[in-house]
Structure 1
Amino acid sequence: MNSGHQQDIVILGGGAAGWIAAALLAKKTGRHQTRITLVESEEIGIIGVGEATVPVLAQCNALLGIDESDFVRRTQGTFKLGIEFCDWGVAGNRHFHAFSDYGHQVEGVAPHHYWLRLRQSGDDHPIDDYSFAYAVAKNNKFAPTDPQNPRYHHAYHFDAALYARYLRDVATELGVQRIEGKMTHVDLDGETGDIAAIHLANGVTVAGDLFLDCTGFASELLGKALNTPFVDWSRWLLCDRAMAAPSKRPDEPTPFTRSTAHAGGWRWTIPLQHRSGNGMVYSSEFWSDDAARDALVSNLDGEPLAEPRLFRFTSGHRKQFWNRNCVGIGFASSFLEPLESTGLQLIVMGVLKLLRYFPERTIDPVLRDEYNQLSTREIERIRDFIIAHYYLSRRPEPLWAACRDIEIPDSLRHKLDVWNATGQIALGDSESYMEPSWLAILLGNGVIPARYNISADLYPLDQIRKGMDLRREEIIRSAQAVPSHQDFINRHCKAP
């Protein structure tokens, strides 16, 4: 870093993307090196729906030194151990994608190979019976597991608008300056084409060395000012709309997000302390907005608290996540779709990568290229995971038939081919979803491979059956000792 020169970082857009970026950069770069300014407009507002997250958010909070109980209390939060999938694959199917595995390896062999061997002999216990997180979640229980020997990880559900406000306090305490205003235009440097400054409607000009675009789908800087092309993935991810509405929460909050498939797409249920978040995700080619609204409203567990809001989106990413002196964080650079709660995950990953390749005032193209390559590879891997949820479906409706008919990416085809032939998950580099996540989706959808690892045949079948029975019994016993999710919240982090 140039000594004596402070680097000016300008973040355009508040919301979760802007304030996560502001807080992490302020915490990890130090005030004498960087001066961070965040420009946001109260009138633009943010997508603030009930938000579900993945465990990387717990890491983000830990990096910021945030007290978990305080954070959950102030965002009306609840805890999340995974996602329950209902009616995916076929109507009546239920499976769980947990933030955990199916137990430790035995003699270097992952437990699902023993499960596959038992299954071939006629045993019909679902793989979820070997997930400790699921045993806890399905009975609406929750407690953090022992950090020295974690049996699962956890994430959160919270109110996105309250979370952005909470992080704003964290970031401003760390020295981030907030400016209220709406951007009207951008000055580009005549020689380099870099962004020199942004102009606000109130006459203020904000100059900077590095700009972070956190303006969501609008992509004001990366997309509009710098004309960064968009790589469209809608041929693989057919859903292009979501409708969201809050409702009264009928009963105790579940420690998981629920995703329920239906004729035109799927809907989410996210339990918060004070309400439920609900949403309908669908393809406008197969379903009208009216049909989606009717299906959303008629399936609410409690009375609606607001009119449904419609969001249109296109899945894909900007060709460069970091172009010239501008880095797109969150929806400004990429959007997949709401399945698997990847929105906040991609924000946190984007900021942590930026810290790893943080530039001096003169940006080394090597850093930028590496950042872009990694970002592209990471999101392609996540894209494949999400496509798989749809592609494996055996539902008869037109949308699902269309999902089966697509020509899937080669990288996903390879994973499925290797799985079907060997029962192994072929993980590449830059994977966000490890073997247990893929197992949850593949086995949950009834995709059973032709064979399993030969070493799972070393022991007599009876011995394996006995070992797996013991494992199931131990999971049930341990899960019974965990307090209820509601009790845990009442004791530690109940919102006023």
Structure 2
Amino acid sequence: MSGQPIRDIVIVGGGTAGWMAAAAFAKVLGGRYTIRLVESDEIGIVGVGESTVPHLKLFNNLLGIDEAEFVRRTQGSFKLGIQFNDWGRIGERYFHSFGNLGPDLGLLPFHQYWLKARRQGKAADLGTYSLNALAAEQGRFMVSASDVPPTSPLANIAYAYQFDAGLYARFLREYAERQGVRRIEGKVVDVALHPHSGFVEAVTLASGERIGGDLFVDCSGFRGLLIEQALHTGYDDFSRWLPCDRAVAVACEKVGPPTPYTRATAHAAGWQWRIPLQHRTGNGHVYSSAHLSDDEAAATLLKHLDGRPLGEPRVLRFTAGMRRKFWNRNVVALGLASGFMEPLESTSIYLVQSGIAKFLNLFPWSDFDPVLIERYNAQSVFEYERIRDFLILHYHATQRSDSAFWNDCRTMAIPPALAETIRLFRDSGRFFRQGEEMFALVSWVQVMIGQGIVPETYHPLVDQVAQADMEGYIASVGRVIANCVQAMPSHAAFIERCCAATPMPA
């Protein structure tokens, strides 16, 4: 080890990923490092609404961001989960909600007892026992209450955000610049590599300005200016399992108050997102170009909008997958430069946040010890592959046979680890989380049951609980959840009282 510290950090690309990295580095690394971010105003972003997972609250807390100000500044709303329509069968819907189902009983999770009671006709749909799912259905929301017993479902409400990604990037830019980050306007036209080490030495802008650094963070989007175009890292393609390769997106006028959830509605060759903000609604149709043309996809999207479109639909092209190395030499890729997981479970911003956290944990000296790089890449590959498998589950676990797309998805060969997960759950409702994978038992249970993977039986230890006690337990959970939801204000009322944004053009 050289023992020499890194001094100059250069982030190439802005947007959500770039400014998240800049803000986090400025906060954690303090004033000992020079942090510069290069971005071009010529390169726009698609701002049609962004949906997140609860982890973002931790990131904002790290930065010391006031939640109400953040929501106001980003025209945000709150998210209790995702409503999935027409995925298992046309006409069916279910919620993948954040937070817990009913409380565990003994060694077993709630859903094991629910499986037995449901088979006996003594339990309602699974979502009835989720505070988030029931509250979302009724349009209610609140943050965790401090004046209730710690065992109350209201004491620990898991939620995420829905917001304008462009406004969030602007919000973080202001934060980062206050912390000393310097923004440089310009378009990168050349990347200089060290002749022996192959490390990136500098980037040159169209203006001729040369910007050198010790560490480079590639947030340049799908292009991967550093990680791919300069270092030729390679890309692992997931499209044989995740066949959607395009999206057409457009915002529309909002009609009524924003719902406290994101909606994902399956169509004949993909699915449509709906992300409600305070000032408008973001929409997009993710689809397979092998099964649907761009014009057909746009027509389907426009047909299913809530309100008048605010502009022309824009087509985005992508390939689901990941870089073979997320950290290569002295370049770390974040955001779309690192890979792309379609937005079905709102993991894009989470993966940026996770990449930043892992990198800060493994922050190197200037010699960039390979052991740190290897560990970072191994952790990143594991995370991507487990999220990939969770997304594949949504496509593969379907009974739909109304189109070639769904027939292909239903019958495709899936990764062995996912096949084993499904077999284990189908047997007796068991799931075992692997390491620190993002999605835990509650998420897998909700999606598998929601899409028709019903276990053949339940855990044998369920029968250790007397029938009457089990029925009382299930009924009690349902009553408590229903009463708690009734105590919650409407989502619109909560926003109006706590974090209403200044009206702005949609």
- TM-score category by the smaller chain? over 0.9
- Please give the secondary structure, in 2, of the residue aligned with 1:31: helix
Any idea what the Cα deviations from partners look like across 1:460-489, whole Å, max 9, x if unmatched?
Answer: 223211221121111111111111111111
Aligned-residue offset at 1:151: 3.4
Which position in structure 2 is the counterpart of 1:17? Answer: 17
Deviation at 1:190, TM superposition (A): 0.4
Give the 5 Å matches for 1:262-301.
262-301=267-306
Distance in 2 (CA, whole Å) between partners of 1:25 and 1:206 is 19
* Residue 376 of structure 1: aligned partner: 381
Offset at residue 172 of structure 1 (A): 0.7
Distance 1:90 1:420 in 2: 18
Q: Distance in 2 between matches of 1:245 and 1:310?
A: 9
> Where does residue 402 of structure 1 map in the other structure?
408
Q: Which one-letter code corresponds to 1:153 in the other structure?
A: A
Paired residues for 1:327-342 under 5 Å: 327-342=332-347
- Counterpart code for 2:284: G
Aligned to 1:74: 73
Kept in 2, the 8 Å contact 1:10–1:37? The answer is: yes
Contact (CA 8 Å) 1:382, 1:433: kept in 2 or not? yes
Corresponding residue for residue 62 of structure 2? 63
Specify the alignment match of 1:434 in structure 2: 440
Matched residue SS, 2:346: helix
Q: CA deviation at 1:6?
A: 5.6
Alpha-carbon distance between aligned partners in 2 of 1:450 and 1:153, rounded to the nearest angstrom = 31
Query: Alpha-carbon deviation of 1:423?
Result: 1.1
Matches within 5 A, 1:43-442: 43-123=42-122, 125-146=124-145, 150-396=155-401, 397-442=403-448
The residue number in structure 1 matching 2:452 is: 446
Q: Deviations over 1:98-129 (max 9, x none)?
A: 11111211112101010011122133511111
Change (3 A) 1:338 1:4: closer
- Describe the SS at the equivalent of 2:192: strand
1:48 positional shift: 2.4
Q: TM-score, normalization: structure 1?
A: 0.98
- Tell me the equivalent position of 1:460: 466
What amino acid does structure 1 have at the position aligned with 2:28? Answer: K
Is the partner of 2:272 in helix, strand or coil? strand
> 1:17, 1:248 → 2: CA distance?
27
CA distance in 2, matches of 1:421, 1:96: 23
Deviation at 1:5, TM superposition (A): 5.5
CA RMSD of aligned residues (A): 1.4
Distance 1:334 1:172 in 2: 27
Indicate conservation of the 8 Å contact 1:222/1:326, yes or no: yes
Unaligned runs of 5+ residues in structure 2 are none
One-letter identity of the residue aligned with 1:452: Y
Could you tell me whether the CA contact under 8 Å between 2:3 and 2:365 is conserved in 1? Answer: no
Which one-letter code corresponds to 2:461 in the other structure? S
Closer, same or farther: CA 5–438 of 1 in aligned 2, 3 Å:
closer
Residues 1:404 and 1:204: Cα distance change in structure 2 (over 3 Å)? same
Report how far residue 145 of structure 1 moved.
Answer: 1.4
Moved more, 454-463 or 433-442: 454-463
Q: 1:267 to 1:139 in 2, by over 3 A?
A: same
State whether residues 420 and 450 of structure 1, in contact with CA within 8 Å, keep that contact through their aligned partners in structure 2. Answer: yes
| SS at 2:266 equivalent | strand
Which sections of structure 1, spanning at least 5 residues, go unmatched? none
Between the aligned residues of both structures, percent identity stands at 46
1:40 aligns with 2:39: yes
Residues in 2 aligned to 1:285 and 1:3: alpha-carbon distance in whole angstroms: 53
- For 1:122, the aligned partner's letter is G
Post-superposition Cα deviations, 1:401-429, rounded to whole Å, max 9, x if no partner, equal 10012110011011111111231112212
1:284-306: per-residue Cα shift (whole Å, max 9, x none)? 01111111111100111100011
